[in-house]
Each structure stands twice: as C-alpha cells, then as structure tokens.
Amino acid sequence: MSIVIGATTTVSFPYGDCVVSVNWGYNPNVQRLYCLGSWDVFDTIQKPTETLNVTIYAPGSPISVTPTGACANASPRITASVSPTVCGEAVAGVSGDWYLTSYGFSKDDPVGPGQETWSMTKWVAGGDTPAPTYVIRGISEGQASNVNGVINSGVVFTGETVEATTGSVSAGSVGRAYVTTIGQVISVGGGTNTPGETGTGSVSIPYTPLWL
C-alpha cells in the first residue's frame, strides 16, 4: 500500500476550476472461457479499461453527450490526467482522452457549494486485445431536480420528459422533497452554486467499443 498526499497531487481537468477528489484505476476485465467436461480454462480474453473519476465544486463547464451519428469515436472526449504524490510503493497516475460515462450533481446545503462528479473511462490495449477501432456513444438518460420548473443541476434534456417526486425525512430532523425531471440528456455540466438553492442530478452515458 502507498500513501497519496493530496496537497501535492496534481489533477488536470478542463471542465472545472477546483478539484475536490479524484479516483483512478486500471481493470484488465478478464473473461475466462471454459468447455463442457473440463474445469481447465480453454482461453482467456481481456478487454482492459482505465477509469478516472473527478469531483469538482460547481459550476463545471457544459459538455455535449449527444449520440454518435457516424462510424467514428464519440466526441468530444475529455483530456485529463492525475499525477499522484505517493509515499511507499510507486503508483502511476493516468492521462489521456476520456469518455464521460456518468455525471452526478449534489447540493445539499443551501449556503454551501454544489459538487459535480464526472466519471470517465478509456478502453486500452492489453493481453492479445488491441484498443478498439471506434468507441461510439449511445443515448444518454438521466434525472435532475428542478426549482419552480427550472433545471438547476447542470443537466440539459431534449424531447419528451416526465416528472416524478421524491422526498425523505427522519425523526428529529428536517427533510427535503424534490420534483424530478426524467428524460433523454444532450448536455451535462454547470450545476447551480446559487445561495438558497439545493438540487440533485444523475446521468448515465452508454458506450459501445467496436473492434473492426
């Protein structure tokens, strides 16, 4: 195990001014193939990915998450990196061009700042598997709270939307209730930092890697 020193760990992320936290990693995504009549592994396939999750103070900058309309990599991608300062065993950071796979917004304190969480993935070569030829983006869907009909969580919808209500409260405390908009999303980023407002939002952004 290594200790990571936050004060001297540097993060490059073009969609926010102040990074609160960062998580990164590598997963080989190993799939073992078996045959009937044997416990032995017939073959092993890897489809490795790197991940980078960044939480920033709102508002972040908006980014388009519209579906890919051609045989090409989804665009735009996010150029970002983390360079950790560690004590103990050396641990490498990550860098490159990333696909945004989910977005979340939360502002629980009316007088405090909101936070946006940007989760990103990159498909890489590993084992006998090359990097995919293309990575295409599907239809993004999500939900976001609104205040008097105005979305305040940095989520932009398109087409028909529906509304739901959520609320919670515990004994001896003050709870909250929201009107939530649900639908297809075309842009994320730019959640509220307005005093007196609270809000939530979450968006899932699907991708399909293609090997041609």
| Rounded Cα gap, residues 4 and 19, in angstroms | 15
Which residues sit opposite 86 in a β-bridge?
4
Whether the predicted pLDDT of 148 surpasses 70: no
Whether the predicted pLDDT of 182 surpasses 90: yes
Among 160, 178, 161, residue whose Cα is nearest residue 169: 178
Mean pLDDT within 163-181: 87
Give me the sign of the Cα torsion angle 92, 95, 101, 103: positive
Q: Tell me the two tokens of residue 58.
A: 């709102």
From the number of C-beta atoms within 10 Å of its C-beta (0-12, 13-18, 19+), residue 22 rates as buried
Q: Which H or E run includes 4?
A: strand 2-4
| Rounded Cα gap, residues 92 and 6, in angstroms | 15
Whether the predicted pLDDT of 136 surpasses 90: yes
Mean pLDDT within 24-46: 93
Residue 145 pLDDT grade (very low, low, confident, very high; cuts 50, 70, 90): confident
Mean pLDDT within 40-47: 92
Q: Which H or E run includes 203?
A: strand 199-204
Q: What is the pLDDT of residue 24?
A: 95
Q: Give the N- to C-terminal CA distance of the chain in Å, as an integer.
A: 39
pLDDT in tens, 79-105: 999 999 889 888 888 999 999 999 999
Contact 171, 85 (CB under 8 A): no
Output the pTM of the full model. Answer: 0.90
Percentage of the chain exceeding pLDDT 90: 67
